Amino acid sequence: MGDVMARLEIIGTEELEIKLSKLADPELMKDIVMAGAQPVADEIRKSLERNLQGSKYSHGDLLKSLGIAPPDIDRNGNANTKIGFHGYDRKGVPNAIKARVMESGSSKQKKRPFVRPAVRRSRKKSIEAMQKKLDEKVENIMKG
Amino acid sequence: MTLKDIRDMLLEVTPNSFHQEAWQQTDEYIVWAEDSEADAVHTDNQKQVQILDVTVDVFTKNEYPEIIDKLQRKFNEKKIPWQLLSIQYEEDTKYTHYEYLIQAEWVM
């Protein structure tokens, strides 16, 4: 009996390679991180609004200063963003310090944590939002 | 560990321990407060176990404070999960503020 030899030829790998390389696009990772940051920022905003409700001292400066920083890619290739408080209030006090004192308290002010509990509450929503965005992106890329 | 156990544990660290608000500020004191649900276990459509986040804030005017050693040893001794969230120095009052996060169980 003679030898039987099988031959397998894979075609279209270049196209697949191009599609897979698009999945490693840093811009895609940034979009996913931003999708995850939004529910966290929304929950922090809700908590802060609750804390400020009925306050006769609040002018809304702290609430307005809450924002999400533009995402970037760190040296390890991970996409990151930050949720925080920028600028100063109308009396010249840094909003970040006001937020810190509200969160942690001081010897002169009772603490009213609003960031940590909000981050915990929104964790699941954030992960789901990132997964949804990733699925959308993968589907679009694979469709070509 | 329940909230009452935490109260008793902190009173062993210092009698100047207060729940929610310090009504008497000395050079060194603790304020503790529960603030939200950290986790829960449900069975048969009922909450069976509830874990609460509790913050423990130490205010001290002492440098290299012994109260911190005592408190952290106590956390370990009682086998409760703890995390030092922040250390802040208040320039105007000269207090150093140590902020801890621990967890308590709410008994149903």
Residues of chain B contacting A110 with CB distance shorter than 8 Å: 20-21
Domain count, chain A: 1
* Mutation for testing the A interface, residue in B32, B55, B58, B94 having most A CBs under 10 Å: B55
Q: Are strands B28-43 and B46-60 parallel, antiparallel or unpaired?
A: antiparallel
Do A105 and B31 lie within an 8 Å CB cutoff? yes
Tens digit of pLDDT for each residue in B28-61? Answer: 999 999 999 998 999 999 999 999 999 999 999 9
Tens digit of pLDDT for each residue in A83-124? Answer: 999 999 999 999 999 999 999 999 999 999 999 999 999 999
Cα angle A113, B86, A103 (rounded to 5 degrees) comes to 15
Domain ranges of chain B: 3-103
88-117 in chain A: CB under 8 A from chain B: 100, 104-108, 110-111, 113, 116-117
What three-state secondary structure class fits A45? helix
C-beta of residue A83 within 8 angstroms of C-beta of residue A71: no
CATH class of B3-103: alpha beta
Residue A114 lies in a domain: yes
Tens digit of pLDDT for each residue in B60-99? Answer: 999 999 999 999 999 999 999 999 999 999 999 999 999 9
The confidence score (pLDDT) of residue A92 equals 94
C-beta of residue B27 within 8 angstroms of C-beta of residue B78: no
The confidence score (pLDDT) of residue A1 equals 60
The residue segments making up the domain with residue A79 are 23-143
Residue A18 lies in a domain: no
Tens digit of pLDDT for each residue in B8-28? Answer: 999 999 999 999 999 878 899
C-beta of residue B60 within 8 angstroms of C-beta of residue B96: yes
| Predicted complex ipTM exceeds 0.85 | yes
Tens digit of pLDDT for each residue in A25-65? Answer: 889 999 999 999 999 999 999 999 999 998 888 888 999 99
